[in-house]
């Protein structure tokens, strides 16, 4: 019997930081010039994307920089001899050979009027690649100009992300005539759109938890209710997340034990939920799905719609929706806040209740 979650595969990514120097906004990186010539040719180096060691692919990381006094100091007309040329660049991971860096920089046009002021700076950009076999840590970026070499430290993060998961309770002990609440908790670093699905290893039965919610404790959490006729035996929890366009996966095992005295005669219900990923503030959007009783459409069933504002702990009832003869339902809703939506099938004396997966809608 497995009493602990086992993450068999957990790969992820991290974030980029340029270390030292002046503090910038949270969306940018701070910068440290580790070595430079007196001219201080290159300034304001800033990463335009996250720098991390990818799980299974090569990524391209971009950065921007400024060239100080690109036409030299002083005022008045200039010639090509006054221009600062950006000639080459490379970046070196710790313990490895230098990697190529591609640069884009065009010096400003020469000045011809004696009253014109020479520009204080001109912008350029560059990019380099990181593969799954590269090391994390401090990488050294060098940009060579006609005046000298400018060196900077780039912090490249390692394969971080899905670092743990748990199912509570484990094992899941089913109870005749009742539903058992099961909570999934996952530790996922620097990722978005975290979701979970639980699948029986011996049947096609599954529970889709949908979007997990990030709590104040730093963990992503979701809940589901197992009915007494859920398949006993080994089950698999799958955690999915997205980081910088890369899909992360984590899987683990848990156990479901059959109820004492066997399952009741109640039928199982199920409801699906579809919702847009984004919506405008207070603009109506549609929730939709299908309701089942057993394997057939739950004709005419009235379902309940709930919403939970991001950062809060309780769902709020938002109204009803009625299924058609084919089990399909839809409801137009509005919201001013980001949050999570779920649909509930109320239980009856002959049918178990159920919840849809949780869907997050980003309101702009």
| pLDDT tens track for 132-160 | 899 989 999 999 999 889 999 998 887 65
Read off the tokens for 120: 């204080």
Instruction: Return the pLDDT at 153.
Output: 93
**Does the CA dihedral 176-179-183-184 come out positive or negative?**
positive
Read off the tokens for 140: 């050294």
Instruction: Return the pLDDT at 161.
Output: 65
Q: Does the structure show a pLDDT above 50 at 3?
A: no
Residue-averaged pLDDT of the chain? 85
Q: For residue range 271-313, what is the model confidence (pLDDT) as tens digits? A: 999 999 999 999 999 999 999 999 999 999 999 999 999 988 8
Which residues partner with 240 through β-bridges?
Answer: 195, 249
Q: Residue 237 is inside which H or E element, if any?
A: strand 233-243
pTM for the model = 0.59
Give residues with Cβ within 8 angstroms of 299, minimum separation 6. 323, 324, 325, 326, 327
Check if the beta carbon of residue 5 is closer than 8 Å to that of residue 166: yes
| Residue that is written with structure tokens 């221009």 in the block | 83
């Amino acid at each position: 019997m497995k009493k602990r979650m086992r993450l068999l595969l957990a790969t992820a990514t991290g974030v980029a930081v340029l270390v030292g120097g002046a503090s910038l906004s949270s969306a940018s990186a701070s910068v440290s010039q580790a070595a430079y010539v007196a001219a201080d040719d290159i300034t304001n180096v800033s990463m335009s994307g996250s720098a991390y060691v990818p799980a299974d692919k090569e990524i391209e990381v971009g950065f921007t920089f400024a060239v100080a006094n690109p036409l030299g100091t002083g005022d008045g007309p200039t010639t090509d001899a006054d221009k600062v040329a950006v000639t080459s660049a490379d970046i070196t991971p710790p313990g490895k050979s230098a990697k190529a860096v591609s640069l884009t920089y065009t010096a400003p046009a020469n000045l011809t009027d004696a009253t014109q002021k020479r520009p204080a700076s001109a912008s350029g950009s560059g990019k380099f690649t990181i593969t799954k076999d590269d090391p994390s840590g401090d990488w050294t970026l060098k940009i060579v100009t006609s005046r000298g070499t400018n060196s900077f430290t780039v912090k490249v993060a390692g394969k971080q992300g899905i670092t743990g998961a748990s199912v509570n309770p484990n094992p899941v002990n089913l109870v005749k005539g009742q539903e058992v609440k099961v909570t999934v908790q996952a530790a996922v670093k620097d990722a978005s759109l975290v979701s979970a699905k639980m699948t029986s290893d011996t049947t096609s039965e599954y529970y889709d938890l949908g979007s997990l919610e990030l709590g104040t404790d730093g963990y992503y959490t979701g809940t589901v209710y197992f009915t007494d006729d859920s398949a006993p035996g080994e089950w698999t929890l799958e955690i999915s997340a997205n980081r910088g366009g890369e899909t992360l996966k984590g899987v683990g095992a848990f156990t479901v034990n059959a109820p004492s005295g066997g399952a009741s005669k109640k039928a199982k219900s199920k409801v699906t939920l579809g919702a847009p990923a984004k919506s405008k503030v207070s603009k109506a959007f549609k929730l939709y799905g299908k309701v089942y009783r057993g394997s057939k459409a739950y004709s005419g069933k009235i379902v309940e719609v709930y919403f939970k504002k991001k950062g809060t702990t309780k769902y709020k009832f938002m109204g009803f929706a009625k299924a058609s003869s084919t089990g399909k339902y839809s409801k137009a809703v509005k919201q001013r806040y980001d949050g999570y939506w779920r649909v509930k099938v109320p239980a009856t004396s002959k049918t178990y209740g159920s919840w849809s997966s949780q869907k997050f809608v980003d309101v702009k």
